[in-house]
Chain A
C-alpha cells in the first residue's frame, strides 16, 4: 500500500535542492560545485545553476537585510520554502495552492529525515559520495510524497491504520506489546506499523514519521541490508530483525529517556544491564504498576548518587508514573508537557555532579570501547545541553548574546582556542579529544559555564558540527581525519557563521547516534529506538525478541484477517479532523477519488488551515462560495473542518441571522460526536 510510487497528481514538490555556499566563494568558482542535490535530477545543469545561484543570492540578501531567517520566498507561480544553516541552503518549491505552512513543514520533515538516517549534513557529505546521498534524498522525497492524499499533504500528518475497521482491543494489544518491550531498560520507545500505517506509537509524531521511511523501504523490497551497514538478521524472511544506526536530536533523546515510563533513574544511572534485568518486576503493563514502581524506588538509594535525585524529571514520580502508565499513549500526551515542566529542575547546579558521577559508571562499559566512549560523551553533552536550555528558557538568550560585548566574546574564543591548542600539545590520542574537551567545559567554574551559555546562540552552529564530528569519528573510525577535523573545529569556533538559526533540528545542536531496531513479521513491523548498547548486548536483544514475537505473530494474524471493510458511510456531510498533538487525521473524504464537491472542501480546508496557522487567536471561521460553506474551528490541540451537504444555502449576500452558515457550528458538533470528535 505504502510502496506504491507517488502518482503525479499527489506530487507536491516541483523543485528541491541543497546548495553549499562555501563551495562558491570566489569569482571563478562554479555554481554547480555548490549544488549537492537537485530534484528533479533531469533538470539541465544550466537551469540548476540559474535557480540555485539566484535563490542563494536572494536568500542571503533578504536575511542580511532583515536580520531574520528566510522561511519562504513567494514568486509569481511558485513558492519556495527555505532553510539556511551554516553555509547550506535548502529550498523546496511547491505549487502555490498548498498552504505556506505545509510547504515549510514539508521541507523541515525532509531535512529531519535526512539527518535522522545520515547524521549531520556536513559529516555525511564527508563520508558518502554525492551520488549515494542523492539517492537517499530522492528516497526521502519519494517517501514524503508517496501514497498520501491531498489532505495528508496539507496537514503533513501521519498515516494511521483505519481504526474504524479494527477491534479496539487490537490497538490495546499493540500498545501492550510496546510496553512489554520497554521492560528492557535499553529500549527508549517504540511504534508498531502495519503495511505502512501506524497501529500504535509511543514516539512523538515527528519521530514516528521518520521511522516509517525505513519501514516502507523494507516493506517494499524486503531489504535486509541497512543503509548504514550496521545490521544483522534473524530468522526467515517472514520474520526478521534489523538494526540501523540513526541520529536523534538531544531534545528527542531527552524526552524519550525521561517521559514515557519514567525510567529516568535506571537509564541515568547506567547500571549494568544484567542488574536491571535480574530485578525483573519492571513490567509496565497495567497489571503490576505497583511492583514496578517500588522496584524503581528501591533502586534509587543504591544505584543513584543521592545528589542526582535533584535531576530527576519529577519528584512526585510515583503518582505521575502511574498515571502515565494508564493513559493510552503516555509519551504523546505527557512528554512535551513533562519536559517543559521539568526543565527548571534539571538546571540545578547538581546536574553537574550528576554528570561527573555518571562518568566512572559509563566508562565501566568500556569493553566495547566504541560504544562506551560514545555513551559517556553523550551523557555529558546532554547535561551541557540542559544547562544551555535553562538559559534559553530562563530568558531570551538571543537578546543576551547580542548584549555581550565583543571583549567577552573574544575572550571566550581565545579560551576555546587555548583549549584546542593545549590539547594538541598535550595529547596525540585523538580518542580522548572529545572527552577532554567536554570535561573542560563541564568542570569549568560556574562563571565559565555562564560564559559558555551566554554564547550559546552564536555557537550553536559550531557545536552542531563539532559535536557531531566528534561523535562520528569514532563510529566511522576515521582517526586519520581527526587532525583535520580538529583544525576545522578551531576555525569554526573562531568564525561563527552569521547565518540565522531557524530549524529546530539544526538549532538544538547535536545529533546523537542511536539505534533503530526493527522486527518484521510479514506486513507488521515493530520499530524500537534503543540505546546504542543494545547492539552489543545479545541478552537484551534476545529478551526483546522473545517477549514480543508471539504477540506480534498474533497481531499480524488478526490484522491480516481483518477485512479492509467498506468505506465509511458517507453521511450528508464532509468533515476532516486534525489532531495537532498526535499529528493524525480523521476524515470521511475518501482518498484520491475525490469528487468536485470534495475537492472544493479540500481547497477550503487548505485555506482555513493556512489562516489558522498564521493567526493563533483565530478560533472559528467559515469560508463559502455561492453553493456551499465550510466551517472550521481550531484550538491548540485540534482543527476541525465541516461541510454540510444537500442543504440549500440560504445566503442573502449580506449579514443575516437566517443565513444557513450560522447553523454550521451546531450541526458540526452534533454530527461529529459519533466520529469521536468532541467540539463541545
Chain B
C-alpha cells in the first residue's frame, strides 16, 4: 500500500501567465523569479514530503498554458494522481477557462471516473491588489463542479503554497485509501477454493 503511493504525480493546469511555474518553483526551491519565460511543453520537479506520517515523493508537472503548446503538453496528462487547476485572481478570463482545462484534462488523461478524481483549484496572485475574481465566486464554482477544495495562493510571497500542495497529497492518499478498502469487497478471490459443497445426495 505504501509503495503504491510513494510517487505521486500532480499536474498544474491553467491559462498562460497565471503562475504555474512560479507555484512549482516556490514550493520546491522556495524561490521566486519574476522574469520566467513561458514554459514550453512540460517541466517537472520532485519533492519529498511527509503528510500525516506518510512519506511521499511528489512529482509536480508544470505545463505550458498557451494554446499553441497544446500538442506538446497533452501527452503528459496521463498517469496524473491529482490535477491542480490554476487561475489568477486578477484575470477573470483565466477563471472562466477553468472548466475548459478540466475538460481537456479529463479527456487527455483518460480519467475513468471524473467525478471522484481529485482536483484542487488554486487562485494565484493573491498579492495583486486589483482582483477580478472574488473569493466567493471561486468557491461557488468549486462547489458546483464537484466540490473541489479551493486555495488562494501567492507564489510571490509564498502564501498558502505549501498548504495547497499538501492538501493535494491528502486528497490523493484519501482516495487511494478508499479504493484500497473497496478492493476486498468488490473483487472475487480466484485463488480461494470453492467451498467443498455438501455431497448432493
Contact A286 B44 (CB under 8 A): no
Residues of A within 8 A of B75 (CB): 561
**A549, B60: Cα distance in complex, Å:** 13
- Whether, in the assembled complex, B76 has its beta carbon less than 8 Å from a beta carbon of chain A, the answer is yes
Also in contact, A558 and B31, with CB within 8 A (given A285-B37, A286-B37, A287-B37): no
Q: In the bound complex, do residue A546 and residue B40 qualify as a contact, i.e. CB atoms below 8 Å apart?
A: no
Q: Are B40 and A553 in contact (CB under 8 A)?
A: no
Per the bound structure, the CA–CA distance linking A281 and B36 in Å amounts to 11
Report the Cα distance A173→B33, complex, angstroms: 18
In the complex, which residues of chain A have a beta carbon less than 8 angstroms from the beta carbon of B41? 167, 169-170, 173, 554-555, 558
**A 379-395 to B, binary, CB cutoff 8 A, 1 in contact else 0:** 00000000000000000
What's the minimum C-beta distance from A541 to chain B, rounded to whole angstroms?
A: 14
| A169–B72 touching, CB < 8 Å | yes
Contact A557 B42 (CB under 8 A): yes
Nearest CB to that of B60 among chain A residues? A550
Interchain nearest-CB distance for B103 vs A (Å): 23
Cβ of B35 and Cβ of A285 under 8 Å apart? yes
User: Smallest CB-CB separation from B41: which chain A residue?
Assistant: A558
Closest chain-A Cβ to B22's Cβ sits at a distance in Å of: 11
Select from chain B the residue with minimum beta-carbon distance to A558. Answer: B41
Task: Provide the residues of chain A in CB contact with B81, threshold 8 Å.
Answer: none
B contact residues around A180 at 8 Å (CB): 37
Say yes or no: is A283 at the interface (Cβ < 8 Å to chain B): yes
- Any chain A CB within 8 A of the CB of B185? no
A554 and B43 contacting across the interface, CB-CB below 8 Å: yes
Please indicate the chain A residues that have their CB under 8 angstroms from the CB of B62 in the complex: 550, 554
Chain A nearest CB, measured from B71 CB (Å): 8
What's the Cα separation between A570 and B45 when bound, in Å? 41
Of B25, B35, B45, B72, chain A has the most CB atoms within 10 Å of the CB of B35
Interface SS, A side: helix
Q: For B21, what are the chain A residues with a Cβ–Cβ distance below 8 Å?
A: 550
B108 part of interface (Cβ distance < 8 Å): no
Q: Can you list, as one digit per residue, whether each of A527-564 has a CB less than 8 Å from chain B (1) or not (0)?
A: 00000000000000000001101110111011001000
Of the candidates A286, A288, A553, which one forms a contact with B45 in the assembled complex, judged by CB atoms under 8 Å apart? A553
Give chain A nearest CB distance to B65 CB in angstroms: 14
Contact A287 B72 (CB under 8 A): no
Which chain B residues in 18-40 approach chain A with CB under 8 Å?
A: 21, 24-25, 29, 31, 33, 35, 37, 39-40
Least CB distance from A265 to B in Å reads 20
Q: Does B107 contact A (CB under 8 A)?
A: no
Quick one: which of B55-112 are within 8 Å of A by CB?
62, 69, 71-72, 75-76
Cβ contact within 8 Å between B72 and A558? yes
Q: Are A553 and B35 in contact (CB under 8 A)?
A: no
Q: How far is the CA of A285 from the CA of B29 in the complex (A)?
A: 21
Note all chain B residues with C-beta closer than 8 A to A176: 37, 40
Which A614-654 residues have C-beta < 8 A from chain B? none
Interface string of A273-315 (1 = CB under 8 A from B): 0000000110101111001000000000000000000000000
**A172 within 8 Å of B (CB atoms):** yes
The one of A170, A288, A546, A555 that contacts B31, using a Cβ cutoff of 8 Å: A546
Q: How far is the CB of B123 from chain A (nearest CB, A)?
A: 23
In the assembled complex, the CB of A236 is this many whole angstroms from the nearest CB of chain B, namely: 10
Give the distance to chain A from B37, nearest Cβ to Cβ, in Å. 4
Sort chain A's interface into a size bin: 20 to 34
A555: chain B residues at CB < 8 Å are: 41
The verdict on A170 contacting B37 (CB below 8 Å), with A550-B45, A553-B45, A558-B72 known, is no
CB neighbours of B45 from chain A (8 A): 549-550, 553
Q: How far is the CB of A455 from chain B (nearest CB, A)?
A: 50
A550–B40 contact, CB under 8 A? no
**A550 touching B35, Cβ below 8 Å:** no
Query: B35 and A291: CB pair below 8 A?
Result: yes
Residue of A nearest to B40 (CB): A173
Residues of A within 8 A of B31 (CB): 546
* Complex: A280 Cα to B75 Cα, angstroms: 35
Per-position contact with B for A159-194: 1 when CB-CB < 8 Å, else 0? 000000001011011001000100000000000000
Question: B35 to A557, Cβ gap below 8 A?
Answer: no
Pairwise interchain contact A169-B44, C-beta atoms closer than 8 A: no
Contact between B42 and A287 (Cβ–Cβ < 8 Å)? no
User: Which of chain B's residues has its CB closest to A545's CB?
Assistant: B29
| Cβ-closest chain A residue relative to B38 | A287
- A551–B45 Cα distance when bound, in Å, is 9
Q: Which residue on A lies nearest to B42, using beta carbons? A: A554
- A281, A288, A550, A561: the one within 8 Å of B24 (CB): A550
> Considering only CB atoms, which chain A residue lies closest to B76 in the complex?
A557
> Of A167, A283, A285, which one neighbours B72 at CB under 8 angstroms?
A167
Known: A550-B25, A561-B75. A287 touches B35 (CB 8 A): yes
Which residues of chain A are near B44, meaning CB under 8 Å? 550, 553-554, 557
A126→B71 CA distance, assembly (Å): 56
Q: Is the CB of B29 within 8 A of A546?
A: yes
With a CB–CB cut-off of 8 A, which chain A residues contact B76?
Answer: 557, 561
Closest to A283 in B: B35
Residues of A within 8 A of B69 (CB): 169
Which residues in A have their C-beta under 8 angstroms from that of B37? 176, 180, 283, 285-287
Contacts of B71 in A (CB 8 A): 167
Chain A residues whose C-beta falls within 8 Å of the C-beta of B29 in the assembled complex: 546
Q: Which residues of A contact B35 (CB under 8 A)?
A: 280-281, 283, 285, 287-288, 291
Q: How far is it, in angstroms, between the C-alpha of A286 and the C-alpha of B62 when the chains are bound?
A: 20
Q: Which residue of B lies closest to A179 (CB)?
A: B37
Q: Which of A429-483 contact B (CB under 8 A)?
A: none
Tell me the bound Cα distance from A529 to B76 in angstroms. 32
A277 to chain B, nearest CB (A): 12
CB distance from B199 to the nearest CB of A (A): 60
A566 vs B69: C-alpha distance when bound (angstroms): 24
Chain B: minimal CB distance from A588 (Å)? 26
Besides A547-B33, A553-B45, A561-B76, 18 more A-B contacts (Cβ < 8 Å) are A169-B69, A170-B41, A170-B72, A173-B41, A176-B37, A176-B40, A180-B37, A280-B33, A280-B35, A546-B31, A550-B25, A550-B43, A550-B62, A551-B43, A553-B44, A554-B41, A555-B41, A558-B42
Point out residues on B near A: beta carbons under 8 Å: 21, 24-25, 29, 31, 33, 35, 37, 39-45, 62, 69, 71-72, 75-76
**Smallest CB-CB A-B distances: 5 pairs:** A554-B43, A550-B43, A285-B37, A173-B40, A283-B35
Footprint of B on A, CB under 8 Å? 167, 169-170, 172-173, 176, 180, 280-281, 283, 285-288, 291, 546-547, 549-551, 553-555, 557-558, 561
Subset of 10 A-B contacts with CB under 8 Å:
A169-B72, A170-B72, A172-B40, A176-B40, A281-B35, A283-B35, A287-B35, A546-B29, A553-B45, A554-B62
